[in-house]
Amino acid sequence: MIAFSAPIVDYHALAPELVLAAGICLVLLVDLFVPAHRRWITGTISGLVLLGALLPVVTLAVLGGDVRDVLSGDGISGRYVVDNFALVLKALFLLSGYVVVLLSTNEIEDGGYYQGEYYVLLLSSVLGMVMMASSRDLVSVFVALEFLSIPAYMMAAWKKRDRKSNEAGVKYYLLGVFASAVMLYGMSLLYGIAGSTKLSVIGEKITLSGPRTGIEVIAVVFVIVGFSFKVSAVPFHTWAPDTYEGAPTPVTAFLSVASKAAGFVGLMIMVYLAFPLARDVYRPFLWVLAALTMTVGNLVALKQKNLVRMLAYSSVSQGGFILMALAMAFTNGSEESSLRAIIVYLIIYAATNLGAFAVVIAVARRTKSAEISSYGGLFNYAPGLTVMMTLFLASLAGIPPLGGWYAKFGAFRAAVDAGGGWGYTIAIVGAANAVVATAYYITVMREMWMKPVPEGADTSAVKVPASLVAALTITGLATLAFGVVPGIIAKVGSLTDLTGAFHG
Amino acid sequence: MIQEQQWLLSLGTFLPLAGVLVMLFIPKKDEAMAKGVALLTAVATLGVGIYTLVKFDYGQSQKLQFFTTNKWISPIKATYTIGLDGISLPLYILSMVITVLVMVYSWNHVPNPGNAKAFFILMLVLQVGMAGTFVAQDLILFFVFFELVLLPMYFMIGVWGGENRQYASLKFFLYTMFGSALMLVAFIAMFIVTKNHATNPDAANFSFQWFHANAPGIARNTAIWIFGGMFVGFAVKVPMFPFHTWLPDAHTQAPTQGSVILAAILLKLGTYGFVRIALPFLPQAAKTWAPIIAVLAVIGIIYGALGCLAQTDMKRLIAFSSVAHMGFVMLGISTLTPLGINAALFGMVAHGLITGMLFFVAGSVKERYHTLEIKRLSGMLKQVPHLGWILGFCAMASLGLPGLAGFWGEFPALLASWSPATILTDSAMGNHELLYRVLTVISAFGTVLAAGYLLWLYQRTAFGEPSEEFAAHGHDDHGHSDIHDVNVFEWIAWTPLLIGIVVLGVVPSLMFKVMDPAVQQLTSVFGK
């Protein structure tokens, strides 16, 4: 019998998670003791908590040095670590969370929703994401995934008396749970193959040499399918448009950016650590997923009349570009450029998409609508918002000098870097899709700039609340800066060595 | 290269942005102020341009001057490298001149729905993109500037354009986007392939220098594919047959200012890309593509001319004539000879001046007569004599009359295509001499057609008596006239262009002398 010895905890490395956990308790308590009309303070506290959790991330980054085992001890080392990869993504999740808090402040307060609970769930979900970035073990990956998903199910259904919101929550919940089950099954097979839940051990067991067993194939495919639901890859995307449309808009922003990024992070960790050598299985599978995701997402987005639904499909299609880079990992030594491309893509996409949703929220405060037609003539009475939206849409379309072009550039580069028939074909598919995508982004621009104001619309100047102005400033500056001086973001991307990867 | 006054080109390129920043803080209602700041910025930018002209060392125009290189996006090896040589100097200056003139013209010609502030801001942003493309000496930097012009032009057509503006602007946008997506993939592929076979892969970067040194070594079959990607990107912009269909719509619907900038500068971004990037970096593929380009160019010449003959709208006719003229430019490029490429570069500038001028005239006709339908216009020489004479002058220049600028773009191009570069007539690789000679004859016929459609246009619109519906609008006894002759803003905006057309026509060596050393150096990759 093995005696249990308590692991040694590196509290500094665990600090971001600890701050968040303490913050969650604090918000719960404040919500309990503060009178209803002053509950807005929970939002402020949540924002501060997220920024507070960023502090240790910064100090950890500044101290730098080697990989830190958060929990070290007999047989437990290397399962939950802090490396540069984890730090960059933690920072991304915390900042995205902060912007979502800014987006939520007025929306949740005006809607008369349960503010305290909302922020508790939001913080919990962010905590799950922060954990995901550090997880290097099947168990912690799964726990992190559930931790980030379950609060999100509830947030999607937050508009309690709205049928669409209920539909959003239920659909998201049912498909999410189904995906978890499939993934868990795949994980159990992985454990069966390797005899360990530690990803690096699994990675050593699944080798390229020797015949591929059926169990290995099923295990890899099931894990990818499970994550495909999370990242809404076609054909596992069906929940996304309904959920995005029904959920409160700040929640949609959160789901389409942070939650999706967390899904990709999980998928990356699995591909890079657990089965890098099973590329004969995942490459064709991810390749097809990527091509389908880009193409179907785009084609359906073309037909949308509702801006939030359109952004939902656009985010499906953007995911395809990330999958493109991932599919071509470990082909002709392209794993590094793929990893960097994905990280950079996630960061730029987060800034841009959150910004687009900020505009949607600001405009909807006036028009009470997210129909694209309600944006007619926006330039005439809200030129500032129109210019911001144009910047974000142009960035999503990948037009220089806005951030999106650099994200797409990286994805293309990863594909071309891998080369060969697979790489070049998917790059051409991606290029064609980049063009199709501009068609629907431009429809919105056309509506805002060129169409007349719909009849009966109020055309007095739109007042944008301070928190939204802050969110727009952050995301707008980031979108512009990432495009003009991509060096800053590329530098971050090149730091992100995922510990244990690149040895296959 | 000459690394003196390294700040000069950056200043010339980005100065308009300073104007944009100032304009952002001017209230929308204060239109005169906004226009003033914009014009001042453009004039200051042109001032920098003229200083560049003065400081340019004409004795060494084959070298990159005012060269500077800096880190930009280190992880992907993209650099901020800019420089100017004899090939880019004329276009760089032309873009600045055109922007100033267009702004002068816009002073009292802001098209519906108004909003001078936004309109002038877009012109300044366009200027940054245009100047930047001509000075960029790094592929990624080039790409960013190349794309920067896309959105402002889209909005210019889509917001301030004619009735069908939304369709036209979308078509313009999607065509260009399609081209540039393939172009970007081609750029990346060229970089990676070059890096993989280079002897010093660690030194790989996106600067033109690197590709000059290494890209010609790419295996021929690979190079042909990469060239194909670039070909689509540049050919859409030129535009070459069969990628030209966006152009007539965009030109017809764009406001006058948009048409002028589009014709004078934006189309040149494509041809410039061929000369600066596709040919010198991938000479081994250029050899294979040149005959294809030549055939497409000549199809463009004839098709454009026939298209012109069928038009009933003056502006659309000018747009189709652009397709034909750019065909001559591409024919010159496809010969791969110094003469042909010199002709092409000259043709680019000449077409910029002449067609830009024609679009100005068309805009002023539209403003006076509220129509551009050729059959409703007549007797302009009687009703608005100055405008009529200017139209005639431009038509003559456009059809290639010797003594005016247009001639020096077309005639040497024909001459060059009669005897293309030796690598194209080398029998070991397939002798294309006969093909080029046939093409020369066909395109010579194209010049006849050009004379036909331009003179016919002039005859129908300028000769004869003013048509009845407009006759009453002319000079009546009370001195009122809504159909008035050329006004002072128009004179200021047009005179430099008219002078330019004459001066370049009489003394073409002004430009040939600047370009030739650079072109000679460029074509040296094709052997003797």
Q: Give the model confidence (pLDDT) of B5-38 as tens digits.
A: 888 999 999 999 999 999 988 888 888 899 999 9
Residue closest to B314 by CA, chosen among B264, B269, B372: B372
Q: A394 contacts in B (CB within 8 Å)?
A: 151
User: Does residue B147 sit at the A interface (CB-CB below 8 Å)?
Assistant: yes
Taking 80 as the threshold, does the pLDDT of residue B149 lie above it?
Answer: yes
Closest by CA position to A404, among listed A337, A479, A339: A479
DSSP string of A116-128?
HHHHHHHHHHHHH
CB contacts of B184 in chain A (<8 Å) are 409, 412, 431
| C-alpha gyration radius of chain B | 23
Residues 192-231 of B with CB under 8 A from A: 192
For residue A379, which residues of chain B lie inside 8 Å, CB to CB? Answer: 159
pLDDT in tens, B47-97: 999 999 999 988 888 888 999 998 888 878 889 999 999 999 999 999 999
Cβ burial, residue A185 (10 Å; 0-12/13-18/19+): middle
- Top residue of B20, B26, B72, B73 to mutate, by most chain A CBs within 10 Å, is B73
Question: Is residue A474 domain-resident?
Answer: yes
Task: Tell me the count of A-B CB pairs closer than 8 A.
Answer: 95
Tell me the nearest-neighbour CA distance from B193 into chain A, angstroms: 9
Going by C-beta distance under 8 Å and a sequence separation of 6 or more, which residues neighbour residue B135?
B9, B12, B13, B82, B83, B84, B88, B92
Asked if the Cβ–Cβ distance from A449 to B28 is below 8 Å, we say: no
For chain B, the residue count is 528
Question: What gap in Å lies between CA B440 and CA A397, rounded to an integer?
Answer: 42
CB atoms within 10 A of CB B192: 18
Tokens of A449: 């700039």
Q: First-to-last CA distance in chain B?
A: 24
Cβ of A390 and B76 within 8 Å? no
Closest residue in A to B115 (Cα) is A380
Q: What is the pLDDT of residue A504?
A: 36
Task: Indicate the pLDDT class of residue B197, thresholds 50, 70 and 90.
Answer: confident
- Answer whether residue A390 is part of any domain: yes
Cα atoms in the 13 Å half-sphere on the side-chain side of A377: 14
- Percent helix, strand, coil in chain A (nearest 5)? 75, 5, 20
Give me the mean pLDDT over the B193-218 stretch: 87
* Residue B526 reports pLDDT greater than 90: no
Q: Label residue B427 by pLDDT band (50, 70, 90).
A: low
Residues of chain A with Cβ-Cβ distance to B185 below 8 Å are 412, 416, 427-428, 431
Cα A389 from Cα A367, distance rounded (Å): 16
Number of domains in chain A: 1
Gap from A490 CA to chain B (nearest CA, Å): 6
Looking at CA atoms only, how far is residue B182 from chain A in angstroms?
6
Per-residue tokens: A289: 């997923």
Nearest chain A Cα distance for residue B165, angstroms: 9
Tens of pLDDT, residues B109-144: 888 788 888 999 999 999 999 999 999 999 999 999
Q: Which residue range forms the structural domain that includes residue A477? A: 289-504
A-proximal residues of B, 24-63, CB under 8 Å = 28
Provide the chain B residues 176-195 that lie in CB contact (below 8 A) with chain A: 177-178, 181-182, 184-185, 188-189, 192
ipTM here: 0.81
C-beta atoms of B148 and A494 within 8 A = no
DSSP class of residue B313 equals: B
User: Is the pLDDT assigned to residue B388 strictly greater than 60?
Assistant: yes
Omega before B412 within 30 of 0, i.e. cis: no
CA distance B206 to B74: 10
By DSSP bridging, strand A8-9 and strand A71-72 are antiparallel
- Does residue A175 lie within any of the structural domains? no
In a domain, A78, yes or no: no
Which stretches of chain A score pLDDT less than 50? 502-504
Helix (H) or strand (E) holding B500: helix B488-506
Q: Of the candidates B155, B173, B181, which has its C-beta nearest A449's C-beta?
A: B155
The answer to whether B75 contacts A493, with C-beta atoms less than 8 Å apart, is yes
pLDDT in tens, A52-94: 999 999 998 888 766 788 888 777 788 888 888 889 999 999 9
Nearest to B187 by CA among B281, B316, B308, B54: B281
> Could you give the residue ranges of the DSSP H alpha helices within A368-419?
378-381, 383-397, 403-418
> Has residue B177 got a pLDDT over 90?
no
In a domain, A467, yes or no: yes
* Chain B residues touching residue A493 (CB < 8 angstroms): 75
Domain-embedded: residue A248: no
Residue A131 lies in a domain: no
The shortest C-alpha distance from A263 to chain B (Å) reads 26
- For A380, name the nearest residue in chain B, comparing CA atoms only: B115
Q: Indicate yes or no: CB of B170 within 8 angstroms of CB of A439.
A: yes
Report the distance separating Cα B133 and Cα B278, nearest Å: 15
From chain B, pick out residues whose CB is under 8 angstroms from the CB of A491.
74-75
Which DSSP letter does residue B528 get? Answer: -
Residue B170 forms contact with A (CB below 8 Å): yes
Record: contact A485-B165, CB cut-off 8 A = no
Say whether A405 and B166 touch across the interface (CB within 8 A). no
Residue B528 has pLDDT above 60, yes or no: no
- Structural domain contains residue A293: yes
Distance CA B361, CA A438 (A): 34
The pLDDT tens digits for B460-479 are 888 888 877 777 665 544 44
- Can you give the pLDDT at residue A62? 85
Residue B515 has pLDDT above 70, yes or no: yes
Cβ–Cβ < 8 Å for A324, A411: yes
Nearest residue to B373 (alpha-carbon basis) of B495, B488, B248, B460: B460
Of B158, B174, B185, the CB nearest to A438: B174
Q: Return mean pLDDT, chain B.
A: 89
pLDDT of residue A392: 95
